[in-house]
Structure 1
């Protein structure tokens, strides 16, 4: 077998560059390299004897194959020093009550990963076209601030934030209030604006979620760091903006107007319900009247039959009875 590609990794510090390790590829025509973009690139690599795993990529050099020699690539790394411990949600979720910390509107950081590049056996670098199992250009990448939309038993739905104003986002994004960002140590001190891009909602693993550095109070003591209780969340106003932007991202553009129309219909609905109650009452009254009329008809027939047997005229008897009743009433009033 022929050695075709060798990738060497160096740590850069004040004393120069120290070889950390290297990968040798035999009969492989291309291999993954850390990508290089306009933004800073971070990637994870474990080296024997080192506990450090997350590195910043400073630059990558390419040396084409010389005769029978393989193509050589040198990756220069910088060790990232963090004053706060990084605990991913996959590690902390086992703690009692941890699941309730990630709720709608909670601010988190997400390690989306980076878009790699390809080292070729010719000693060149190219895009990762065809390597569809990796992050691609146009997809969200790097570690960034995000907002929780929903949580499932095994994953979290999030929408990412960016400091670059979304030019073509329409109503599918909104700005995080500076007061909310001020509660985050890094993002608040950067003085940069942050916009949440709701059109890029994504389901990510617990292994990608970690708390952002924030200013918080624990047992009455003010602290700064990564609290596994995820204390910073959107305000109620921002949560409404989140809902509106999510609706626009799925094409529901008239939800607010429809909701207002429905709200205006409630008083009319209550009036209709009141009228329906009146109709029911009138129907009951009509039924009672009908029953009384039937009873009256039966009594009249009985009275006419009795009057005929006695040789009397029912109508005449009724008239005389009413006249006597009126006369008695008049005399009662006069006295």
Structure 2
């Protein structure tokens, strides 16, 4: 058994020969699904490190993997090291990033059968997070990043543990991030090596380490924080609910006070009008009797 790597022009890049093997792992490649990437350095292409799998064919005892050179994107670790900075300088909570979780493998047997890997722990197993996908940063500690994966899988809108992320959070990213509704998978929080973390493709279709512009909107951030609290810390949400109830009670009390104040002000205005009308009547009456031209003169006239 051997695995042969070729480029788009069918030029062989390298091969791995398996002697006395009954089965081996090969990429679980399917046409028209998600992109799959390999990191290999071949002697004939020493400057290319990132490869995109274009096709995979089985011919007799050979698995032929067709590759094309991919964008030479460095991880956040490599970039931070080149700038003499720490990872925390670039990655902040609620940034949008991409994480390469790796890909599923198939078990390829000498009898020609191929099935999904279900026992080789050196590769991903069914149900584990896979492929390169957008994620949301939750925290950074050393060379590890805690992330919340995103998915556009259909049907997630019916799952209360999948939180929709609006397209406004992807306005600075390439259009493909907005083509479908994205959901944050609350039950799939992962801690990954920062070497798996890459910048997303920006609106100019380039990979740039400008993480501060790739972040959730305030609304999405607030919704996600509340959902995380509900999922992982009931005490926090109970306190939040209690605070909201207290706030509502204070709001209603404030409205009652304002209503009472307005009623008092209206009553004061009415009394002032009655007083002004009375003064006007006394002045007119006093003038008609020749008692004076002011309240003091009229009162003095009647007192004498």
For structure 1, the residue ranges without an aligned partner over 5 or more in a row are: 65-70, 216-222, 269-335
C-alpha distance after superposition, 1:222-272 (max 9, x if no partner): x773332312111222112222232344374x854542224545999xxxx
The DSSP-based 3-state class of the residue aligned with 1:238 is: helix
Q: Does 1:201 align with 2:197?
A: no
Are the equivalent residues in 1 in contact too, given 2:148–2:186 (CA < 8 A)?
yes
The DSSP-based 3-state class of the residue aligned with 1:59 is: strand
Alignment partner, residue 332 of structure 1: none
Alpha-carbon offset, residue 24 of structure 1:
0.9
The DSSP-based 3-state class of the residue aligned with 2:48 is: coil
Cα distance change of structure 1 residues 193 and 229 upon mapping to structure 2, 3 Å threshold = same
Alpha-carbon offset, residue 184 of structure 1:
0.5
Alignment partner, residue 53 of structure 2: 57
Cα distance change of structure 1 residues 30 and 172 upon mapping to structure 2, 3 Å threshold = same
The DSSP-based 3-state class of the residue aligned with 1:133 is: coil
Q: Does 1:154 align with 2:143?
A: yes
Alignment partner, residue 130 of structure 1: 119
Q: Does 1:192 align with 2:187?
A: no
The DSSP-based 3-state class of the residue aligned with 2:62 is: strand
Cα distance change of structure 1 residues 134 and 224 upon mapping to structure 2, 3 Å threshold = closer
Q: Which of the residues 21, 27, 30 maps onto 1:28?
A: 21
Cα distance change of structure 1 residues 169 and 257 upon mapping to structure 2, 3 Å threshold = farther
TM-score w.r.t. the length of structure 2 is: 0.71
The DSSP-based 3-state class of the residue aligned with 1:12 is: coil
Cα distance change of structure 1 residues 139 and 34 upon mapping to structure 2, 3 Å threshold = same
Alpha-carbon offset, residue 77 of structure 1:
2.2
Q: Distance between the aligned counterparts of 1:173 and 1:248, measured in 2?
A: 12
Alpha-carbon offset, residue 92 of structure 1:
2.2
Q: Distance between the aligned counterparts of 2:149 and 2:180, measured in 1?
A: 15
The DSSP-based 3-state class of the residue aligned with 2:8 is: strand
Alpha-carbon offset, residue 170 of structure 1:
2.8
Alignment partner, residue 73 of structure 1: 63
Alignment partner, residue 328 of structure 1: none
Q: Distance between the aligned counterparts of 2:216 and 2:182, measured in 1?
A: 13
Alpha-carbon offset, residue 97 of structure 1:
5.9
Q: Which of the residues 7, 12, 20 maps onto 1:19?
A: 12
Cα distance change of structure 1 residues 157 and 87 upon mapping to structure 2, 3 Å threshold = same
Structure 1 ranges of 4+ moved more than 6 A: none
Alignment partner, residue 88 of structure 2: 99
Are the equivalent residues in 2 in contact too, given 1:165–1:195 (CA < 8 A)?
no
Q: Say what the alpha-carbon RMSD is for the aligned residues.
A: 2.7
Alignment partner, residue 235 of structure 1: 217
Q: Distance between the aligned counterparts of 1:102 and 1:249, measured in 2?
A: 24
Cα distance change of structure 1 residues 267 and 176 upon mapping to structure 2, 3 Å threshold = closer
Alignment partner, residue 312 of structure 1: none
TM-score w.r.t. the length of structure 1 is: 0.65
- Structure possessing the higher radius of gyration over alpha carbons: 1
Cα distance change of structure 1 residues 158 and 41 upon mapping to structure 2, 3 Å threshold = same
Q: Which of the residues 103, 110, 119 maps onto 2:99?
A: 110
The DSSP-based 3-state class of the residue aligned with 1:22 is: strand
Q: Distance between the aligned counterparts of 1:169 and 1:121, measured in 2?
A: 43
Alpha-carbon offset, residue 147 of structure 1:
0.3
The DSSP-based 3-state class of the residue aligned with 1:104 is: coil
